[in-house]
Structures are given as C-alpha cells and as structure tokens.
C-alpha cells in the first residue's frame, strides 16, 4: 500500500542511508535509574542518542554490562533500538572503577554480535568502551567514534588520590584517541583538553554537545508542582539535582545557602542518591552533606529528597526559583539544560560544559567553583529580582531550544557518523527543504507537549467564555501583529458561524480591529493604552478581557489585562514562552510550551478553534 504522505515524515530521509550502529557503554546503561553514584548524564546521553538515531531511521544496538540476572537477552528500547546486556563479571552492580579487568570478556561478546550484524560503525562511550571499540576495529575493521564523557587526566587533576581508576587509563585513552575515526568533544573545554592533554588530531574532532528532550522538559505548572512536592507557594526554592559525589560540590551550595541575607531565606532541595529515601548508609555523600548543613546552621532548610525517576524530575525543576550546579569540573552537565528547558534560571560553576551552556548574565550566571560567597551573591541577585529571573529564564528557554535538543544533537552525530563510516550524504537536502522539514518537525514536537499541558486550560478557558455569554456578558479580545489577526479570527468565529449552522450570535469584540480608535489614541496619547482605553469604554462587570500575546510582554495587552482587573472584569490570556507579565495577571493563562513565536501562533490557532468548539457546544447543545 502506498504510504500516506504523513507516514513518511520521520526517518533517514533524503540525506542519508540508514546506518547499523553498535553503541557501546560498558557501565552506563540506558535502562538504569538515575541519580546513583555511577548513573547520571552518560546514561541519559546513551538512551537519548540511541532513541533519536532510531527515529532518524538508523538501527542501533546498545551494549552495556549485565548488572542484573533478571535482564532478558535483548531489550527493545524503541523502534530499531535494542539494548543487549553483555555477560562480563557477576550480573550485579559493580563500581565502574572495577570494570577494566572485565573488558576482554565484554569485547569477546560484542565481537560475536558484530560478526553477525555487520555494523557500519561503533560508537564508544567512556574510555573502557573505547578500548572495546579499538579492539573491534583491529579484529573486524569496524570504524569507530568515541565520546569520552570524562577524561582520566582531567579527573586526576581534580580528584587526586580519590580517583580510583588505575594509571593504565591514560594509556588506554591515548590509544583510543589515536585509533578512533571520530572523536566527539562535548564542549569547547573538552575539545581543548583532548588536543592539549591527549594530542587529539583536530581533523578527527567534532564538537557536539549533549541535549534535553522537549517532550520531557518544558516550563509551566509551578503551583501544581509545588503542591505535589509539599513546597509552600511563597518559599524561595533553590534546586540541586544530580549524582551525589563530592566533586559535584553540593557542600558549596549548602555553604552559599547559609550566606544568603536574612531577608532572602531560601530552602535548598537536593535530589539524588543511591536510594529513593535519602540514606547516608547507602549514600555516604548525603551523610557528609548533612553534617555540613548542621555546621552551617541551615539543616532545617536543606531537604534531601533521595533519587527520583526521570518522569518525576520535571516537577522539581518547575517548582524551583533557581537551579544551581557548582561541580569542581564537569565534562558536560545535562541538568542545567533541563532546568533552562523548564524555564528556570541557572547559577552554575564556570567549568567544562556548564561554561558553554549557561550564557553568563543572559540565561543565568557563572561563578567560580568552591566559592560559596560568589554563589551566594548571584543566588541573592536572582532570588531578589523576580523580573530579572523571568528574563533569564526566557532567554535560557530560547537558548536550549535553539542549540541543545537531543533531536538536533542526534542529527549532527548521525552526519558525523556517516562520514566516519565512509558514507557521504547521498544527496544533501536543499536549505529550503530542510527549513520546511524543520518547521513541521518543530510544530509536531510543540503540539505533542501542548496536548498534555494545555488540555485543562483550554477547557477552563471555554468555561470562562461560555460563562460570560450565559450571564449576558461579552468578550473583549486583543493582540498585536499575528495575534491581532487571531483576535479578529476568534471574534469572527463566534459572532458569525463556526460548526453549528444555526445558533445565536455571540458577542466578541476584537479591540485591535478599530483603526480609527487605534490610530487616534496611539497618535495622540500612546500605543501602550490603545486596548486599555477600549476596555474602559466597553467593559462591564462580568465581561471577559482576553489578551493574546506570544511573549506575554506586549505593553498594550498587559495594560488591557491590568485595567480589566481594576474594573472587576474577568481575564484570560493566550500566551507562549514563560508567559511574561500577562501570565501573572490573567485569571486563566494558557501558555504554549515553546519559545518560538511562529510555533506559538500556530498552536494558538488550534487552541482558539477548540475553545470555539467547546463554547458553541454549550451555547447550542446538539440535539
């Protein structure tokens, strides 16, 4: 059967033929729960890159050490993506520092698969997997790419004697750097370290960052999240989330908390550890941090949460006023991206990947690691200025969507892998096709997020509007540019006909449609009050003022909502991004989870149509 056009959307498409990829990640399994000593960003990276390569039409087998006897021989992770647990050592959790002697057994099993599957390329994650891939290349000629995630020489500089890896690691890394066909650096610092400490060939280096998943992390729902987590609405909440090991510098965050001025008392929420309930016996770092909190006199304001599943993390992010991460060093650091994706400003250490992902003074602040005074200064700045915090959050959201989605990361990796595997893109897509595809893909992603988070709000908005009509009241709607046409569109649907052929005319007035009033007031007085003036003229108690703005920051829309409030009218706003000032003013705010004006407008049209449909059904129930 001929596929319908929309069935061909995802896939390798015109740019590449599918690759068969052996992804090797000896200790970091995409199936592991996160937050434990050895499970963090690398697990997320492997899972997301594998899934997104699968979505692009490539076939991926992820090889990871079997750490439980109950795992089946093969686990289907997604379409075209399998996890294959490898028998090497006891089928139980082991510290990653003890895995090197198990690599010959690991290599034998991967090689047996590789003989059958004829992979085009291996993608090694971490130095021990690099060793496995280098052996595969020697034995079977499979080219390989490597993402180190962390470098032994950098770790040794920072951790000294606490570094439990053998010195052998340095020689293995050097061999892997020399024999790899492609070396993926995760941030500019990683690239420099690879060149200066390991003499990596710049021709083989490519800088591709880590990412976040917009279907997993988006802003909004702070009040609900706080209620679910038992955090008070008015509390100042600082969030720390990640693996619980000394190098993450959580003690520094506790010390900074103690240095905040009295009027900015805040609660520090610490998510992470080996168990769901924080247990110093299982996570010694928690015990150490509890003692630091006691010594600093802030034990009552530090909440240790324990580890949480991926699906639970968004609540913690959106509930926070500020996210903080001040490790001693950080090969990449995915959590700051996730925080920004949830519309939360970040204060991070000026090291490694964080120095690249957080734009200082724009999406948050960078501070030296292990400097609680510097951290307290910036936390105080963000906590004391809500407007500044909102602006940082908005720019952070834009930045992560522009640069750091897993979809974009995987597409760049796939191109680099194809080249390393000796494949050139079959036919480079023209810029025009690429732009069209991107538009559709972006909108589909926003729609899928919006479906979950706007459902309730759309029904609430329809209640508000139909309630007004039932009382004999009307709706005054306004917006600028594209949102002005949306306002008129909405009025036309309800004044005129929508789905029901025969129903009463419904009173909706688009305030941006009266050119004479607009131009006179803008010309004589100012543009900021063109809608507020009309709200005063037409608004009667019981009416609804409905503002449409993709940013939530248009002064005239904000003024209309304020005036409505002052006059005792109800308010409703259709917004995007972080919701801006309009989001705080409206009785009911519908915020499209995207920072992109055009995608927000496209979802606004759908929301308006759905509201019309629900309102009309109430006005003229079908018989």
- Binding positions for Zn(2+): 489, 493, 601, 609
CA 480 – CA 215 distance, rounded (Å): 29
CA 28 – CA 32 distance, rounded (Å): 8
CB of 124 to ligand I22, least distance (A): 44
Interacting residues of 427 by C-beta distance below 8 A, sequence separation 6+: 14, 15
Residue 350: which of ligand I22, Zn ion, none does it interact with, CB under 5 to 8 A by kind? none
CB of 561 to ligand I22, least distance (A): 12
For the annotated binding site, the residues are 480-482, 489, 493, 523-524, 549-551, 554, 601, 609
- Give the binding site for ligand I22 (CB under 6 A): 480-483, 549-551, 553-554, 557, 597-598, 601
| Cβ distance to ligand I22 smaller for residue 287 or 481 | 481
| Cβ distance to ligand I22 smaller for residue 15 or 480 | 480
| Cβ distance to ligand I22 smaller for residue 326 or 483 | 483
With contacts defined by CB under 5 A, how many residues of the chain interact with Zn ion?
2
| Cβ distance to Zn ion smaller for residue 107 or 601 | 601
Residue 489, Cβ neighbours under 10 Å: how many?
A: 18
Burial of 49 (0-12, 13-18, 19+ CB in 10 A): buried
Residue of 320, 330, 114, 290 lying closest to 222 (CA atoms) = 320
DSSP assigned state of 472: T
DSSP assigned state of 184: E
For the annotated binding site for substrate, the residues are 480-482, 493, 523-524, 549-551, 554, 601
CB of 435 to ligand I22, least distance (A): 15
Beta carbons of 331 and 191 less than 8 angstroms apart: no
| Cβ distance to ligand I22 smaller for residue 29 or 551 | 551
Among the listed residues 188, 439, 482, 542, the single contact to Zn ion using CB under 5 A: 482
CB of 486 to Zn ion, least distance (A): 9
CB of 566 to ligand I22, least distance (A): 21
Residue of 558, 612, 556, 611 lying closest to 580 (CA atoms) = 558
- SS3 of the chain: helix, strand, coil, percent, to 5: 50, 15, 35
DSSP assigned state of 71: S
Beta carbons of 116 and 184 less than 8 angstroms apart: no
| Cβ distance to ligand I22 smaller for residue 56 or 560 | 560
Interacting residues of 297 by C-beta distance below 8 A, sequence separation 6+: 258
Q: Where in 600-619 is the site for Zn ion (CB under 5 A)? A: 601
CB of 600 to Zn ion, least distance (A): 9
Per CB under 5 A, the segment of 299-307, 320-328, 406-414, 593-601 that binds Zn ion is: 593-601
Quick check: 542 binds Zn ion (CB under 5 A)? no
CB of 554 to ligand I22, least distance (A): 3
Burial of 392 (0-12, 13-18, 19+ CB in 10 A): buried
| Cβ distance to ligand I22 smaller for residue 271 or 560 | 560
Residue 554: which of Zn ion, ligand I22, none does it interact with, CB under 5 to 8 A by kind? ligand I22
Interacting residues of 540 by C-beta distance below 8 A, sequence separation 6+: 473, 474, 569
**Number of residue whose CB is nearest ligand I22:** 481
CB of 557 to ligand I22, least distance (A): 6
CB of 575 to ligand I22, least distance (A): 8
149-178: buried (b, 16+ CB within 10 Å) or exposed (e) per residue? bbbbebbbeebeeebebeeebbebbbebbe
Distances (CA, A) of 311 to 314, 393, 612: 7, 22, 33
| Cβ distance to ligand I22 smaller for residue 147 or 554 | 554
Residue 551: which of ligand I22, Zn ion, none does it interact with, CB under 5 to 8 A by kind? ligand I22
Residue 25: which of Zn ion, ligand I22, none does it interact with, CB under 5 to 8 A by kind? none
> Sheet of 322-325: strands edge to edge?
302-306, 267-271, 237-241, 322-325, 346-349, 364-367
| Cβ distance to ligand I22 smaller for residue 189 or 556 | 556
Residue 303: which of ligand I22, Zn ion, none does it interact with, CB under 5 to 8 A by kind? none
Residues that bind Zn ion (CB under 5 A): 482, 601
């Amino acid at each position: 059967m001929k596929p319908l056009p929309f069935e061909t959307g995802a896939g390798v498409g015109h740019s590449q033929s599918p690759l068969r990829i052996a992804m090797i990640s000896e200790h970091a399994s995409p199936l592991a729960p996160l937050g434990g000593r050895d499970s963090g960003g690398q697990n997320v990276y492997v899972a997301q890159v594998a899934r997104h390569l699968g979505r692009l039409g490539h076939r991926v087998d992820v090889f990871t050490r079997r750490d439980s006897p109950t795992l089946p021989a093969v686990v289907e992770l997604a379409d075209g993506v399998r996890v294959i647990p490898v028998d090497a050592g006891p089928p139980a959790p082991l510290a990653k520092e003890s895995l090197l002697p198990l690599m010959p057994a690991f290599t034998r099993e991967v090689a047996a698969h590789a003989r059958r599957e004829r992979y085009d390329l291996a993608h090694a994650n971490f130095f021990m997997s690099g060793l496995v891939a280098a052996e595969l290349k020697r034995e079977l000629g499979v080219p390989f790419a490597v993402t180190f995630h962390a470098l032994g020489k950098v770790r040794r500089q920072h951790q000294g004697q606490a570094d439990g890896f053998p010195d052998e690691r340095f020689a293995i890394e050097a061999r892997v750097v020399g024999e790899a066909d492609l070396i993926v650096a995760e941030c500019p610092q990683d690239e420099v370290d690879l060149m200066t400490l390991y003499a990596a060939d710049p021709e083989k280096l490519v800088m591709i960052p880590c990412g976040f998943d917009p279907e997993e992390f988006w802003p909004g729902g702070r009040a609900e999240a706080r209620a679910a987590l038992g955090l008070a609405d008015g509390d100042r909440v600082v969030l720390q989330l990640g693996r619980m090991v000394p190098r993450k510098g959580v003690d520094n965050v506790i010390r900074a908390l103690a240095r905040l001025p009295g009027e900015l008392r805040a609660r520090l929420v610490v998510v992470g550890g080996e168990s769901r309930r924080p247990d110093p016996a299982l996570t010694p770092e928690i015990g150490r941090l509890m003692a630091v909190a006691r010594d600093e006199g802030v034990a009552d304001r530090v909440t240790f949460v324990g580890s949480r599943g991926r699906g639970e993390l968004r609540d913690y992010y959106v509930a926070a006023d500020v996210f903080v991460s001040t490790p001693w060093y950080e090969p990449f650091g995915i959590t700051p991206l996730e925080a920004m994706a949830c519309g939360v400003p970040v204060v991070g250490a000026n090291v490694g990947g964080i120095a690249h992902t957080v734009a200082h003074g724009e999406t948050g602040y960078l501070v030296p690691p292990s400097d609680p005074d510097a951290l307290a200064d910036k936390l105080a700045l963000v906590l004391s200025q809500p407007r500044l915090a909102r602006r940082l959050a908005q720019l952070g959201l834009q930045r992560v969507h522009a640069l750091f989605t897993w979809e974009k990361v995987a597409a760049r990796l796939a191109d680099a892998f194809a080249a390393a595997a000796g494949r050139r893109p079959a036919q480079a897509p023209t810029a025009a096709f690429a732009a069209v595809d991107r538009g559709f893909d972006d909108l589909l992603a926003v729609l899928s997020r919006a479906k979950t988070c706007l459902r309730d709000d759309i029904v609430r908005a329809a209640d508000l509007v139909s309630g007004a009509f039932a009382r004999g009241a009307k709706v005054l709607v306004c917006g600028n540019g594209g949102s002005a046409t949306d306002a008129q569109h909405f009025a036309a649907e309800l004044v005129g006909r929508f789905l029901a052929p025969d129903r009463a005319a419904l009173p909706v007035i688009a305030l941006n449609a009266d050119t004479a009033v607009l131009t006179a007031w803008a010309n004589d007085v100012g543009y900021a009050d063109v809608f507020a003036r009309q709200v005063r003229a037409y608004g009667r108690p019981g009416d609804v003022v409905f503002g449409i703005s993709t940013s939530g920051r248009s002064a005239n829309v904000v003024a209309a909502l304020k005036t409505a409030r002052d006059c005792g009218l109800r308010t409703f706003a259709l917004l995007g991004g972080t919701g801006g000032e309009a989001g705080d003013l409206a009785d009911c705010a519908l915020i499209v989870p995207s920072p992109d004006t055009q995608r927000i407008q496209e979802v606004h049209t759908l929301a308006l149509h759905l509201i019309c449909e629900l309102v009309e059904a109430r006005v003229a129930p079908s018989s």
